[in-house]
Structure 1
Amino acid sequence: MIEAQVHQQLREFLRDCGDSSWPHHLTLARLVARALRLGRSALLQVGGLSAYQGDYRLSYLVALLLWPEPAVLVVPEVTQQRILMADLPRLQEKLGATKPIHVGDRWPDPAFRGLLITTPAAWLADRLGRGGHFPSQVPTLLDEVDHLETWLGDHLTAQLTRLDWDQLSLAYPHHRNLIRDTLVTLTYTAFQHPSNPYQCYLLDQEACGLLQNLYQTLVAEDERAAESMPLPWQRFWQQFAPPDHLLWVAVDHQSGQIALHCAPVDLAQCVADLWQQQPVVLIGASLDQDAKAEIFRQRLGLEDLTCLKFAPHRHHDLVNLYLPTHLPLPNTRQFQAMAYQEIRRLLVCAQPANRGLTLILVNDLPLKGQLAAALAGEFGSRVQVEPMQVGQNTILVSSWEFWHQHRLTLPVPTLLILATLPLPSLENPLVAGRVAFHKRRRQDWFRLYLFPTAMAEMQRAIAPLRATSGLVAILDTRIHYRSYGQQMLEALSPTATTRSLQPDWDAQTGV
């Protein structure tokens, strides 16, 4: 059977190369081979450190290369480059594999029986748009599905810019005045909102009414008018379904222009047919606390799957946690001053100037700027806010998003300070809109949305430090005093935890 062949070939490869310490290579390879043979879908969680290092990919690549039938591999372009430039040449040389490999956004030929490597954007556009560029029922492996909701959101979000309004006026010259007046009213209303850091606002009932009136007027004269609209407008009207879709306006204060956005909240309903078109193997880092990934599957409409969550190595994946209990809660006036003093203590006691990068993650924009300014006043040019290049002793202050985007190119911090937990803020209009959606359905919005989002952020942020047993300090005392705090700590294991900062901390931990 293919499982035995994959097991034997991978074991010999690992024995000859000996450059990977991940203990689950053979199990992952057998599971992928079994899924290919049976045509049964699977969901596999490989863990944060393994996902960061990427070694696990060798396992599924061996299975895909030795599988005698056609298959599709869906990975982001950055990962494609690593696979094409490093992983595949090594495996092909050692295994003597001759399976054809093609990279592109469509199936190369009806008779093709090799491996097609494509991007999430190309694959989702075809599968959800019924493009027919990929044959049905071809086994498909999707890697890095921690980002699957983002990929789907990007594909399913309809957007209208000023250019789209101009094109609509050209398509409907008799209604140019109505189109112009609607845009002017929406723009004026958007700029009347109090400014927020997110530069976006949910469309209210009155704004939705203006858009509905515009649509009804344009299609009233001709039943086919909706089909002859410019494509961006067709996409927008297809998604325009308040209140079950998020409708928001993004404002650009510099240009004085707006952009309308419309996106579904319930992704499971939108992708219900996607998983029926072919067997899929989904691989991610830490998709859910539960091995069966019930919440992740519920959010994405995944039903009958083989699920497995690989256990982290008790020693190799360990990270040091410092969890002070004396700080006030983040929503109090005292938090900023005391958080600064705690960060200063950490920099002095646990991070001498010659001991590597310090990373301070702060999503709150005012707090980020204030902390950076205060630290720069004491530590000088060592303090930088989201630079593309850093020195060995830099104190880097950044958002969580910046760290996620650049963690593969920046040095691994020896000290990571989480000023607050990355729970999505209800002050963000898009977060508030999603929460309102769950409330209307009487669903547990914290368990289904806020908590899993925060845990995914934390696991990704901390993963690089697991390879070096680095120090992570969490200054948000909600991790002690809220019911979800213990769940977060359990999800972050294995850890070595302390609640007091000793003068010789760096000597004790080896940080």
Structure 2
Amino acid sequence: MIEAEVHQQLRNFLRQQGEPYWVHHLTMARLVARALRVGRSALMQTGTHQGHYRLSYLVPLLMWSGPVILVAPQELHQRLMRVEIPRLRQCIAVTKPIEIAAHWPNENFQGLLITTPEVWLRDRLDQTGKFPTEIPVIVDGIDDLETWTREQLTCRIQPPDWESLMLACPDQLDLIRDLRVSLTREIYQHPENPYNCYLLEAPERQQLIHLTQRLQSITPLPTAWAHFIDRLERQESLTWITVNRPQGVFTLHTAPIDLAPALARTWSQQPTVLIGEAIDLDTDANIYRERIGLGDVTCLKFAPDRHDAMIQLYQPEGIPLPNTPQYQEKMLQELRSLLSVNPSGFSVVLTNDTPLKSQLGAILAAEYGSRVQVEQTCLDENGILVCDWEFWQRQQRVLPTPQLLAVTTLPIPSLEHPIVAGHVSYYKKLRQDWFRLYLLPAALATLQRSIAPVRDAQGVVAMLDSRVIFRSYGEQVLTALSPFARLSYFDGDLFLDRYNLR
């Protein structure tokens, strides 16, 4: 069977390399091979980052006798073609053709096709037929699957689309201009927020629907408007406005809140192996599978190695809750103590509180000078990066591995963000637990992905958010952080000796 062949070839390859490797390579490779042979979909959480697991699916893909599709982000394609696959081909005798393309080459193609999530999802959601059905698909990086899908399903009305509407309906120019002026006035009455976006209020929504219905009775609407209104009229849609205040323009967006119906059709078209880093605390990933419309599949979750991936968790007591006036002063005291014992190593300070991020940057820069940067990638080896969680996840591949990562506030999505508020409102209408089903899973997945680089260095994660102690979900946060060795106090001398920073 292919499982045994894959196991043997990958084991021989790893032995020839003579270097440390991911401990679950052989297990995952056999499971991917089995999924290809049986034609049963699977969901795998690797618990590791930077593609440490990639060999586990490349070997079975190259050895599989039939055609297969690999869906991976664009930035991985060159590494796959120039590094990973050539290295395997030197040790594993396979001649399978490989192509990178935005469509299926021809009906006789029996090789490996590599494409992007955007291209593949667009084909599956719009049913354009660029890729055949029933061919096995491997999707790498599903931590971002919901973002990719919502991007594909979002309809937009940008400034030029208003001009197109006026050209299509020249007899209704006054009505269109009046609506645009009215929307502009309403939008700019909203107070500024850090996100530069706002939910579309019900009266504004009705104004748009009323106008376009009237125009549709006269002439066909431009394509962008037709798609936008079709989505807007559905009650389950989320509609928001992004504003460019310096230019005085805005863009309308609408997208489905529930992605499951659209994605469920995708999974039914072919056996699919979905691979991500950390998407759900549970092995069965029930909450995540429900969100993406994925039914009964084989689910696996690989735990980080307790020897090589254990972090040092420092969780001081006595820090007030983040929403109290005393919090910032006490948190800063702990932060200063932590940074003072890491003078030569790289440190990261994380917060999603925009005002707090700016304040921390200013205060720490006054004490540590140019070592401190707020959301910049050009840092010295002993730099101190202050940033939000999104920036850190996006840039961690190009930044040094931190010896110290300080969590000032957990990455729980803010209800002040209009899009988050829209999702919470949707869960409330369904009388569902919006915190357990939406906010907490998002926070835990972000936390697991963000601390992954620290595991490589077995560094220190300082948890300065006392909600982990005082809130009922604290145990779930600790589960997401495990494996860890708890530090009851922070020993500066031990830290300096451990990382040779003296």
User: Smaller-chain TM-score range?
Assistant: over 0.9
* Partner residue, 2:125: 128
* Partner residue, 2:76: 79
Runs (4 or more) in structure 1 with deviation over 4 Å come to 507-511
Q: Distance in 2 between matches of 1:96 and 1:181?
A: 68
* Partner residue, 1:280: 272
Cα-to-partner distance string for 1:413-438 (whole Å, 9 max, x where unaligned): 11111110000011111111100100
CA RMSD of aligned residues (A): 1.4
* Partner residue, 2:388: 399
* Partner residue, 1:62: 59
2:136 paired with 1:144: no
Query: 3-state SS of the aligned residue for 1:366?
Result: helix
Query: 3-state SS of the aligned residue for 1:83?
Result: helix
CA contact (8 A) 1:20 1:55 kept: no
* Partner residue, 1:232: 224
Residue type at the aligned position of 2:76: T
Q: Distance in 2 between matches of 1:320 and 1:484?
A: 21
1:313 pairs, out of 305, 310, 316, with 305
* Partner residue, 1:179: 176
CA contact (8 A) 1:362 1:368 kept: yes
Query: 3-state SS of the aligned residue for 2:284?
Result: coil
**CA shift at 1:51, angstroms?**
2.5
Matched ranges for 1:44-443 at <5 A: 44-47=44-47, 50-52=48-50, 54-222=51-219, 225=220, 229-241=221-233, 243-348=235-340, 350-351=341-342, 353-354=343-344, 356-443=345-432
**CA shift at 1:241, angstroms?**
3.5
Residue type at the aligned position of 2:310: L
1:445 pairs, out of 434, 442, 445, with 434
Q: Distance in 1 between matches of 2:19 and 2:106?
A: 37
Residue type at the aligned position of 1:44: M
**CA shift at 1:500, angstroms?**
2.9
CA contact (8 A) 1:319 1:469 kept: yes
Cα-to-partner distance string for 1:387-431 (whole Å, 9 max, x where unaligned): 221101111111111111111111011111111000001111111
Query: 3-state SS of the aligned residue for 2:250?
Result: strand
**CA shift at 1:238, angstroms?**
2.7
Q: Distance in 2 between matches of 1:231 and 1:120?
A: 24
Query: 3-state SS of the aligned residue for 1:116?
Result: strand
**CA shift at 1:231, angstroms?**
2.5
Cα-to-partner distance string for 1:376-397 (whole Å, 9 max, x where unaligned): 1111111111122110111111
Query: 3-state SS of the aligned residue for 1:447?
Result: helix
CA contact (8 A) 2:372 2:383 kept: yes
* Partner residue, 2:41: 41
Q: Distance in 1 between matches of 2:286 and 2:476?
A: 16
**CA shift at 1:250, angstroms?**
1.2
Residue type at the aligned position of 1:36: L
Query: 3-state SS of the aligned residue for 1:273?
Result: helix
**CA shift at 1:243, angstroms?**
3.9
**CA shift at 1:242, angstroms?**
5.2
2:456 pairs, out of 426, 447, 467, with 467
CA contact (8 A) 1:330 1:476 kept: yes
Cα-to-partner distance string for 1:249-286 (whole Å, 9 max, x where unaligned): 11111011111110111111222211111110000111
Q: Distance in 1 between matches of 2:234 and 2:418?
A: 15
* Partner residue, 1:476: 465
Q: Distance in 2 between matches of 1:119 and 1:307?
A: 24
Residue type at the aligned position of 1:440: K
Q: How many residues align?
A: 500
Change (3 A) 1:88 1:326: same
Identity fraction in percent: 50
Query: 3-state SS of the aligned residue for 1:412?
Result: coil
TM-score, normalising length from structure 2? Answer: 0.97
Query: 3-state SS of the aligned residue for 1:359?
Result: strand
Q: Distance in 1 between matches of 2:374 and 2:490?
A: 26
1:456 pairs, out of 445, 448, 451, with 445
Gaps of 5+ in 1: none
Q: Distance in 2 between matches of 1:257 and 1:148?
A: 30
**CA shift at 1:469, angstroms?**
0.7
Q: Distance in 2 between matches of 1:102 and 1:234?
A: 36
Query: 3-state SS of the aligned residue for 1:313?
Result: coil
* Partner residue, 1:491: 480
CA contact (8 A) 2:306 2:483 kept: yes
Query: 3-state SS of the aligned residue for 1:96?
Result: coil
Residue type at the aligned position of 2:38: L
Residue type at the aligned position of 1:83: L
Q: Distance in 2 between matches of 1:81 and 1:281?
A: 22
Worse-matched range after superposition: 331-340 or 403-412: 331-340
CA contact (8 A) 2:209 2:233 kept: no
CA contact (8 A) 2:351 2:388 kept: yes
Q: Distance in 2 between matches of 1:160 and 1:505?
A: 57
Q: Distance in 1 between matches of 2:239 and 2:396?
A: 32
Query: 3-state SS of the aligned residue for 1:299?
Result: helix
* Partner residue, 2:29: 29
**CA shift at 1:508, angstroms?**
7.5
**CA shift at 1:91, angstroms?**
0.9
CA contact (8 A) 1:420 1:476 kept: yes
Cα-to-partner distance string for 1:110-132 (whole Å, 9 max, x where unaligned): 11111100000000000111111
Q: Distance in 2 between matches of 1:51 and 1:412?
A: 12
Q: Distance in 1 between matches of 2:233 and 2:475?
A: 39
**CA shift at 1:499, angstroms?**
3.8
Query: 3-state SS of the aligned residue for 1:426?
Result: coil
**CA shift at 1:509, angstroms?**
5.7
CA contact (8 A) 1:51 1:284 kept: no
Q: Distance in 2 between matches of 1:329 and 1:504?
A: 29
CA contact (8 A) 1:200 1:429 kept: yes
CA contact (8 A) 1:412 1:464 kept: yes
Q: Distance in 1 between matches of 2:130 and 2:375?
A: 40
TM-score, normalising length from structure 1? Answer: 0.95
